[in-house]
């Protein structure tokens, strides 16, 4: 089967159009991406299902984006698209386009681990709604990607299977928790990726790897088949190398689902139709509390240049306050662990995955959980259990829930004045693997992303340039976050497209002389 490596640098819309026009087959597109994975990812590329090597056996430049590559089933899916085309069926814009799926969403018959030893060996008997929708669009899932265990983290270092490397510098993290999907797309292993975002896990890795990444309005994308971390915050969303591709994927994923009680029953915003509208006359608010927020000087400079470019493109820019945004981190780090401690109670050694046998049920339960969960997950369960315990629930969980309401009101008030709010996506550029050992320092990565999560509003990160870390890192991507009112996801993508047009960022690390360790 001929595999043209140039196919791995084309975007999703271009690949979908080429497949639709019969210029290339879905199978050829797939083989080019499987070749790239075999060459760069450190998987054992053999048989129907390719597995990642153990962390100790990975090469120093292996990205380790995928935990499993479902090669045979991807070939079947690609061939099915090619047969439908040959039969004269009309195909959607993304039919035949490969995609990297975060290992927190179920795909029937393929392992789902959530980056945890706890779920080793668990094979879900059903598809997530997201997975079903991808298949219905003719998208070809390549496999399941690495992530921080149960999506808790900002670097993918909390995976039980070892960290993923950043295609911009293999010594650095790709961000997290959806770092595997981000690295796959940035490294040319897939033109599209799906991540999930509870407090920033799509937006921050998008920023760290030079991608567009979107967290939809809470309820826009079904959570059915998404293994729950914090149910009132979790949303799945797209990664892509440009805004149009991300919007096309968002459109495939969003929509009502009776199997998720928190799914929005109304029709989702049309994010694709909004793309060409520009920013002329649009009111843009720079969030005062998030503009500085401990930003590295390089990030701040690139951010201010992008703000100036938006203004030059016709937007009105003003500074806007979200007075309670500064309480976002403490509120998030109580609400999210509280929900996690309840959600993760289901991993008891009986129903899913791992079991460590012991004399009594209670001892079996404790031994299983002690062995199955890594340190960050155990920390969250303890924090969450404490925050919900009688005598402390008023001071911690309920107080955090009240702060959450105040933050949601801040957004509503701000959106009376401006159409969108913007900030840097993350306070710094991608850091070195192992460099952020203190959990509180890791949590500070999420300062700019958790407010939109707590308020449920949509937010998209778009790359705006590169900066170094002030310590000789070489060029690393910087992201700008665009936040819009509830259900106005279209506005996020519209502004992101306008930013992309004025900034002209090239998502290929090689175009920046990056992709090497320093």
Q: In this chain, which residue has its C-beta nearest to ligand GLN?
A: 201
User: Which H or E run contains 297?
Assistant: helix 297-312
Q: Which is nearer to ligand GLN, 26 or 344 (CB)?
A: 344
Give whole-number Cα distances, 11 to 45, 94, 167, in Å. Answer: 24, 10, 17
Query: Across-strand partners of 169?
Result: 166
- From 177, 178, 181, 453, active-site residue: 177
Residue 432 beta carbon to ligand GLN: minimum distance, rounded to whole angstroms? 18
253-282: which residues touch ligand GLN (CB under 6 A)?
Answer: none
Residue 333 beta carbon to ligand GLN: minimum distance, rounded to whole angstroms? 7
- From 116, 159, 181, 201, active-site residue: 201
Q: Which is nearer to ligand GLN, 188 or 205 (CB)?
A: 205
Q: Which is nearer to ligand GLN, 452 or 498 (CB)?
A: 452
67: nearest Cα among 51, 55, 48? 51
Candidates 152, 240, 492, 496: give the one binding ligand GLN (CB under 6 A).
152
One character per residue 329-358, x = contact with ligand GLN (rule: CB under 6 A): -------x----------------------
Residue 443 beta carbon to ligand GLN: minimum distance, rounded to whole angstroms? 7
The stretch near ligand GLN (CB under 6 A) out of 110-118, 184-192, 195-203, 462-470 is 195-203
Q: Does residue number 137 form part of the binding site for ligand GLN (CB under 6 A)?
A: no
Query: What gap in Å lies between CA 517 and CA 267, rounded to an integer?
Result: 46
The stretch near ligand GLN (CB under 6 A) out of 75-83, 106-114, 196-204, 356-364 is 196-204
Q: Which is nearer to ligand GLN, 137 or 182 (CB)?
A: 182
The 3-state secondary structure of 343-410, one letter per residue? HHHHCCCCCCCCCCCCCCHHHHHHHHHHHHCCHHHHHHHHHHHHHHCCCCCHHHHHHHHHHHHHHHHH
Query: What gap in Å lies between CA 481 and CA 466, rounded to an integer?
Result: 15
Residue 16 beta carbon to ligand GLN: minimum distance, rounded to whole angstroms? 28
Query: What gap in Å lies between CA 197 and CA 507, rounded to an integer?
Result: 21
User: What length is written for the chain?
Assistant: 518
**Maximum CA extent, the chain:** 70
Candidates 11, 111, 153, 187: give the one binding ligand GLN (CB under 6 A).
153
CA torsion 9→13→18→20, rounded to 10°?
150
Residue 250 beta carbon to ligand GLN: minimum distance, rounded to whole angstroms? 17
Annotated catalytic residue 102:
yes
DSSP string, 158-200: T-TT-PPPBTTBTTB---SSSHHHHHHHHTTS-SEEEEEESSS
Residue 194 beta carbon to ligand GLN: minimum distance, rounded to whole angstroms? 13
The 3-state secondary structure of 311-332, one letter per residue? HHCCCEEEEECCCCHHHHHHHH
Contact present, 423 and 286 (Cβ < 8 Å): yes
Annotated catalytic residue 390:
no
Contact present, 454 and 233 (Cβ < 8 Å): yes
Query: What gap in Å lies between CA 317 and CA 321, rounded to an integer?
Result: 13
Q: Does residue number 145 form part of the binding site for ligand GLN (CB under 6 A)?
A: no
Contact present, 146 and 115 (Cβ < 8 Å): yes
Q: Which is nearer to ligand GLN, 312 or 440 (CB)?
A: 440
Q: Which is nearer to ligand GLN, 34 or 377 (CB)?
A: 377
Tell me if residue 293 falls in helix, strand or coil. Answer: coil
CA angle 273, 248, 8 (to 5 degrees): 140
Q: Does residue number 164 form part of the binding site for ligand GLN (CB under 6 A)?
A: no
Annotated catalytic residue 159:
no
DSSP string, 207-241: HHHT-EEEEPPTTSB--TTBPPSSTTT-EEEEEES
Query: What gap in Å lies between CA 302 and CA 424, rounded to an integer?
Result: 9
153: nearest Cα among 206, 93, 87, 229? 229
Residue 154 beta carbon to ligand GLN: minimum distance, rounded to whole angstroms? 4
Candidates 41, 62, 149, 197: give the one binding ligand GLN (CB under 6 A).
197
Residue 122 beta carbon to ligand GLN: minimum distance, rounded to whole angstroms? 20
The stretch near ligand GLN (CB under 6 A) out of 45-53, 194-202, 244-252, 274-282 is 194-202
Q: Does residue number 20 form part of the binding site for ligand GLN (CB under 6 A)?
A: no
One character per residue 46-85, x = contact with ligand GLN (rule: CB under 6 A): ----------------------------------------
Show the tokens assigned to 95.
């039919």
Q: Which is nearer to ligand GLN, 229 or 373 (CB)?
A: 229
444-473: which residues touch ligand GLN (CB under 6 A)?
Answer: 446
198-227: which residues touch ligand GLN (CB under 6 A)?
Answer: 198-201
One character per residue 173-192, x = contact with ligand GLN (rule: CB under 6 A): ----x---------------
The stretch near ligand GLN (CB under 6 A) out of 136-144, 150-158, 243-251, 493-501 is 150-158
Q: Which is nearer to ligand GLN, 152 or 275 (CB)?
A: 152
Tell me the backbone φ, ψ of residue 198, rounded to 5 degrees: -110, -40
Where along the sequence are the contacts to ligand GLN (CB under 6 A)?
151-154, 177, 197-201, 229, 336, 446
Enzyme catalytic residues = 102, 177, 201
């Amino acid at each position: 089967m001929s595999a043209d490596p140039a196919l791995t640098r084309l975007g999703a819309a271009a690949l979908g159009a080429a497949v639709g026009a019969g210029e290339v087959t879905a199978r050829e597109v797939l083989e080019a991406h499987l070749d790239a994975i075999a060459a760069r990812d450190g998987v054992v590329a053999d048989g129907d299902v390719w597995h990642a090597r153990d962390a100790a056996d990975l090469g120093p430049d292996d990205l380790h984006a995928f935990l499993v590559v479902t090669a045979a089933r991807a070939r079947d899916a690609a061939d099915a698209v090619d047969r439908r085309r040959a039969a004269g069926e009309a195909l959607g814009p993304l039919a035949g386009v490969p995609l990297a799926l975060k290992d927190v969403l179920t795909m029937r018959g393929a392992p789902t681990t959530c980056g945890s030893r706890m779920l080793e060996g668990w094979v879900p008997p059903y598809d997530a709604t997201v997975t079903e929708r991808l298949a219905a669009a003719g998208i070809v899932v390549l496999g399941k990607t690495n992530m921080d265990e149960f999506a808790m983290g900002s670097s993918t270092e909390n995976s039980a299977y070892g960290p993923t490397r950043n295609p911009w510098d293999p010594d650095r993290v790709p961000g997290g928790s959806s770092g595997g999907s981000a690295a796959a797309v940035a490294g040319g292993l897939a033109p599209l990726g799906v991540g999930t975002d509870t407090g920033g896990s799509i937006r921050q890795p998008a920023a760290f790897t030079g991608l567009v990444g979107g967290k939809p309005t809470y309820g826009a994308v079904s959570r059915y088949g998404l293994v729950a971390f914090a149910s009132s915050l979790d949303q799945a969303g797209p990664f892509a190398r440009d805004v149009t591709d991300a919007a096309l994927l968002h459109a495939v994923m969003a929509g009502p689902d009776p199997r998720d009680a928190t799914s929005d029953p109304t029709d989702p915003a049309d994010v694709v139709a909004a793309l060409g509208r520009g920013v002329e006359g649009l009111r843009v608010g720079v969030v005062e509390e998030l503009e500085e927020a401990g930003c590295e000087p390089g990030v701040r400079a690139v951010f201010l240049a992008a703000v100036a470019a938006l203004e030059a493109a016709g937007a009105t820019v003003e500074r806007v306050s979200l007075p309670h945004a500064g309480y976002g981190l403490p509120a998030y780090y109580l609400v999210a662990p509280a929900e996690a401690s309840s959600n993760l109670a289901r991993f008891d050694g009986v129903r899913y995955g791992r079991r460590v046998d012991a004399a009594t049920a209670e001892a079996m339960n404790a031994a299983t959980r002690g062995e199955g969960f890594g340190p960050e997950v155990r920390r969250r369960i303890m924090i969450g259990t404490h925050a919900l315990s009688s005598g402390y629930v008023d001071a911690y969980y309920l107080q955090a829930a009240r702060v959450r309401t105040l933050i949601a009101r801040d957004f509503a008030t701000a959106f009376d004045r401006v159409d969108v709010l913007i900030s840097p996506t993350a306070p710094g550029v991608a850091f070195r693997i192992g460099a952020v050992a203190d959990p509180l320092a890791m949590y500070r990565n999420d300062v700019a992303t958790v407010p939109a999560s707590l308020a449920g509003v949509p937010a998209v990160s778009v790359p705006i340039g590169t900066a170094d870390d002030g310590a000789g890192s070489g060029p690393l991507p910087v992201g700008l976050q665009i936040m819009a009112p509830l259900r106005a996801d279209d506005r996020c993508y519209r502004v992101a497209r306008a930013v992309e047009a004025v900034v002209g960022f090239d998502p290929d690390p090689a175009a920046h002389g990056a992709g090497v360790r320093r």
